[in-house]
Chain A
Amino acid sequence: DQQVKQNSPSLSVQEGRISILNCDYTNSMFDYFLWYKKYPAEGPTFLISISSIKDKNEDGRFTVFLNKSAKHLSLHIVPSQPGDSAVYFCAARGGSGAGSYQLTFGKGTKLSVIP
C-alpha cells in the first residue's frame, strides 16, 4: 500500500518555463512533507519542506504547496533550468512512534529541462 504517490514517472519542460511536480498521500497522520532532488550516482539532496500548519513555502525558485483536504502537494520550479534535471522525491512523516521519524517516500518523478 503506497502511502505517498507520485503518479508521473517523468516530466519534460522547456527551459525558462514552470515545472510542476505532484504528490498525493493517503495517511492523514502525515504532518510534515519534504522534497528531495537526486542526481544520478548521488544521494538525495534536501530541497524544501512544509509543515501541515502552512499551505505554502517558498525558497527562491522553489515553492511547495500543500492542500490538506485533498491530501495533495506540489512543487513548483520557476523558472526551470537545465541543472534542475534530476529525479524528485516527495517524502512525508507524521504521527507518533515510528511516524515521528520515519520518512515515507514516493517513487520519484524524473524531470528533464530542455534547453
Chain B
Amino acid sequence: DAGVIQSPRHEVTEMGQEVTLRCKPISGHNSLFWYRQTMMRGLELLIYFNNNVPIDDSGMPEDRFSAKMPNASFSTLKIQPSEPRDSAVYFCASSRDIETQYFGPGTRLLVL
C-alpha cells in the first residue's frame, strides 16, 4: 500500500515568492494533518482536516499560511509571501479519524 505522498521533497525559493506544498493521504483515511518541524520548536501541528473540512487551524502561524483540502485524496499548504523564517521541514500525516497518524516523507523548504 502506498503511504502518504508529499511533493516536492525539496523546495528552494526566494523571499516573497509563493510556495505550494502538496499531500496525498493514504486511501481510506479521513483525517489529514500538516506539521512543521524546526530545530527550535520541534514538531508542531499547523492544521487538522477531518472529512475534508478544516477542524483546527490554530497552529497556522499567520495569514501568509493557508491550507485546502478540495477532496479526500489531496491537500495543499500554501505560503504567500514566503519568508526566511518559514524554512523548515513540512510533514503531512493522515489517519482514520483519531487513530494512529502516518506521516509522509516531508518537504524540506528553504527560503533565501
Does residue A26 face the partner (Cβ distance < 8 Å to B)?
no
With A46-B101, A98-B56 already in contact, the answer to whether A103 and B45 are too (CB < 8 A) is: yes
For chain A, the count of residues having a C-beta within 8 Å of the partner chain is: 20
Q: Which of the listed residues A44, A100, A102, A108 has the most CB atoms from chain B within 10 Å of its own CB?
A: A44
Residue of B nearest to A32 (CB): B98
25 contacts between A and B (CB under 8 A): A34-B100, A41-B105, A41-B108, A42-B105, A42-B106, A45-B103, A46-B100, A46-B101, A49-B100, A98-B56, A100-B98, A101-B31, A101-B48, A101-B50, A101-B55, A101-B56, A102-B48, A102-B56, A103-B45, A103-B101, A105-B42, A105-B43, A106-B42, A107-B42, A108-B42
Q: Which of B45, B91, B104, B108 contacts A102 (CB 8 A)?
A: B45
Contact B106 A43 (CB under 8 A): yes
Q: Which residues of A are in contact with B by a Cβ distance under 8 Å?
A: 34, 36, 41-46, 49, 89, 93, 98, 100-103, 105-108
Q: In the docked arrangement, what's the CA distance between A105 and B33, Å? A: 14
A81 to B100, CA, bound (A): 25
Chain A minimum-CB-distance residue to B101: A103
Q: How far is the CB of A99 from chain B (nearest CB, A)?
A: 10
When distances are taken between beta carbons in the complex, the residues of chain B under 8 Å from A34 are: 100
